[in-house]
Amino acid sequence: MNKLDLKLLMVEQKNEITAHFIYGKLAKRLKKKNDPNASLLQRISDDEIEHYRRIEQETNRVVKPKRFKVFFYYWISVIFGFTFGLKLLEKDEEKAQASYDHLSEDYSFFKEIFADEDRHEKELLNMLNEERLTYMGSVVLGLNDALVELTGALAGFTFAFNNTSLIAIIGLITGVSASFSMAASEYLSTKQEDGDNAIKASIYTGLAYITTVIFLILPFLLLENAYASLGVSLGIAVFIIMIFNYYISVAKDYNFTRRFLEMTAISLGVAVISFAFGFAVNHFIDIPVA
């Protein structure tokens, strides 16, 4: 065995033992909650340790896991959901696998390892059932509506009133009212389709809406210049769109670029139209602002 192959084998060996600990820790966490997904993660963890032992037979080396990576993916999974965390890990493993493809020519057992990795992603991870993803449609509804409606409203208010305090108050009232309206609409809509989940769906929609409202209005509460506040608010909107779509693209295997550009174009497009409308209102209608 040449030095390059040994080095690559040991890197993959470290990846396998690291993944074993990540899946194992998450399996224990879910088992305490009597979550049926615990058995799935334990199966993957067992596969990873078998991969490690098989590579160890070739390297005759004992390697330790990447502690930071274990810590990072464990807490990413805890905070953002284990489906997101584990699919993010699988994508990382896919990138690493591309570097080791040539090893399968000299070490036939790597074909079995790669086949197992593919099975983990295509079969086991697709079987994961997580509430936050079940209601992702409700979250999308609340988030999209808040981004489109409030960015447009804030843009219109900015040119019409040019007063950060007034814009913040009107925006907050508009946003809170709209969040209750959206939650109620989602409740009625979901009740027609699946009455058992109507309340939860409405809560997810309302929370997504009001959380977005708070972030978009915050610049108007902290800054004195209305136009600067609007610029920061639109920047926050784009950032929210980016983070949310990245989350969805990983957890649900969607195309990130297309969804991100689509949502950004809609939100900013509505903002531009509303800004122009606010300009017209300010120009043609004399609205006294104290």
Give me the pLDDT at residue 152, please: 81
Query: Distance between CA atoms of 122 and 140, rounded to whole angstroms?
Result: 25
Q: Average pLDDT over the chain, rounded to whole?
A: 81
**Angle at CA 148, nearest 5°, toward 143 and 150?**
90
Average pLDDT over residues 173-200: 81
Residue 78: is its pLDDT beyond 90?
no
Say whether pLDDT at 112 is over 80.
no
**93, 69 contact by CB (below 8 A):** no
Q: Decide which of 266 and 219 is more confident.
A: 219
Please, what sign has the CA dihedral across residues 234, 216, 136, 239?
Answer: positive
pLDDT winner (highest mean) among 47-56, 79-88, 131-140, 273-282: 47-56
Q: How far, in Å, are 15, 140, 263, 270 from residue 58 at the CA level?
A: 15, 49, 50, 60
What are the angstrom distances between the C-alpha of 273 and each of 95, 149, 152, 219, 279?
A: 42, 12, 7, 21, 10
pLDDT tens for residues 205-261? 888 889 999 999 999 999 989 889 989 998 998 998 898 888 878 877 778 888 888
Mean pLDDT of 27-49: 85
Over range 80-109, report the average pLDDT.
70
Overall average pLDDT of the 47-61 stretch? 86
Distance CA 41, CA 23 (A): 6
Residue 290 has pLDDT above 50, yes or no: no
Of 61-70, 102-111, 274-283, give the range with the top mean pLDDT. 61-70
| Residue 94: pLDDT over 80 | no
Q: pTM of the full predicted structure?
A: 0.68
The one-character DSSP state at 196 is G
Q: What is the pLDDT of residue 129?
A: 61
pLDDT for 142 beyond 60: yes
Q: What is the CA radius of gyration of the chain?
A: 25
Rounded to an integer, the average pLDDT of 34-60 is: 85
- Looking at per-residue confidence, does 121 or 264 come out higher? 264
According to the model, what pLDDT value does residue 220 have?
93
Question: Residue 276: how many CB atoms within 10 A of its CB?
Answer: 13
Q: The tokens of 268 are what? A: 């900013």
